[in-house]
Structure 1
Amino acid sequence: MATRIKMLLSLAICAVLALVHLPFTTAGGGEVAAPFDYKKALHSSLLYFEAQRSGRLPHNQRVKWRGHSGLADGLQQGVDLVGGYYDAGDNVKFGLPMAFTVTMLSWSAMEFADDITAAGEWRHVLEAIKWGTDYFVKAHTEPYVLWAEVGDGDTDHYCWQRPEDMTTSRQGYDNWFLRRGANPNVVIGAIVGGPDHLDRFRDRRDNYMQTEACTYNTAPMVGIFAHLHGETAIMKKS
């Protein structure tokens, strides 16, 4: 498992390197390297996780336009499921994608600790990991019970609401397989959005199927941006 995660990180780094280091042609026909601020990208990626927080937000919350939400999660089943991360643009808390998210954040912290520290983001990475792991500990209410989902994907995806104002079901589910058929969020895990079948990508606000920000897509980028920031700093010194 650890080898597969490392391979995934390596492939993601190679893909990003291939994209961001592509030269572009100037009006005079010359090629120059496209500038990119990896430190800012890393900073923004970690801010995104704070924007995705569910539950009672801490006093040091940096994304001030977000408020407490999902404070009654699990109440219907008599358990405390407050906390964790919202999946993406919706307000459901899917256990498997969230677990992938925290796993990738943890591996990023392990593999690129020096780069993350140099960028001044070490504490924020640890806080992002702890926000997820605290929720998983809470969701494991009994030896053989793990609450794998809060909210209903079907009804939630029909209703566009801020999590602070949501009125959709916040029921918790502790046995996915007895609930309904496979959900793409669980089967696919981290693969959502991106180019279409003709390899086209349109960065438009209304093109939510391809541009929706997701926790499990952003998590691997934390390590990637940290590593690229570190490499860039070394090149500047040389």
Structure 2
Amino acid sequence: MANFKTHLGTAALTSSLAATALLSAGHVVPITALWLMLLGTIGGLLPDIDSDNSTSMATLFRLFGGLITFSVVGHIYQMVSMLELIIYGTFCYFTIRYNFKATLEKLTVHRGCCHSVAFIMLAGLFVVWLLHLLGYQEVTAWLSGLFIFSGGAVHLLLDEIYSVDLANRRLKMSFGSALKIFSPRNPFLSALQCLLIAALYVHSPPLEKTWQTLSHWSDFRFKPDWLNRKDVVGFFDSLLASTRDSIHHGQ
């Protein structure tokens, strides 16, 4: 399977390109684009959250702890004193960083339920539901969930690609264990995932506004107006002509 650096770099690259495209089309503002890049990168590490003592898991829980603590602090800072804010923030971070991590390690096995399409879909919908609950706009909530899901999908695809030995033209033992809809070895947890997916989707905001936003790309420009075949050919023709004239006059 792909290593930590490959997952991190690929997720960061793909999420950055996708967020830049949305920014160029006018669908998001710069701060939202940065937020989506971060979520896409986190999504790229998410399936390895069930790998005990892995670099991905440690990094994920640091990021989760920081993000959730920041969100909590951002919503209560006007209601409590500074000392209370420090206490609540510290408690929130260490609870997620250590207690929740330890609980997850006991409940999961590597490449089990967390290494599936159902899990990253569940994670994406949870982010949609949570951001909507915190008062974020529908489009921002759905895009955030989409980037979490897309980053996770990139992770699963990378692991499947690395399961194919192109040099010896054979499939490794790990082939098929990465990109799966759900884990057939864990029917109870897989069924629970499906139930949670349905519940979160029902309680998520409507999709219509997000779909309308993503359906309009009239303002998107992949390249500048001056970069077209006619102008480029004309530029090189004029450059060659001036070079020939210079050589002719030099002689």
Which structure: larger Rg?
Answer: 2
> Would you call these one fold, judging by a TM-score over 0.5?
no
TM-score (normalizing by structure 1):
0.28
Say which structure is richer in helix.
2
TM-score (normalizing by structure 2):
0.27
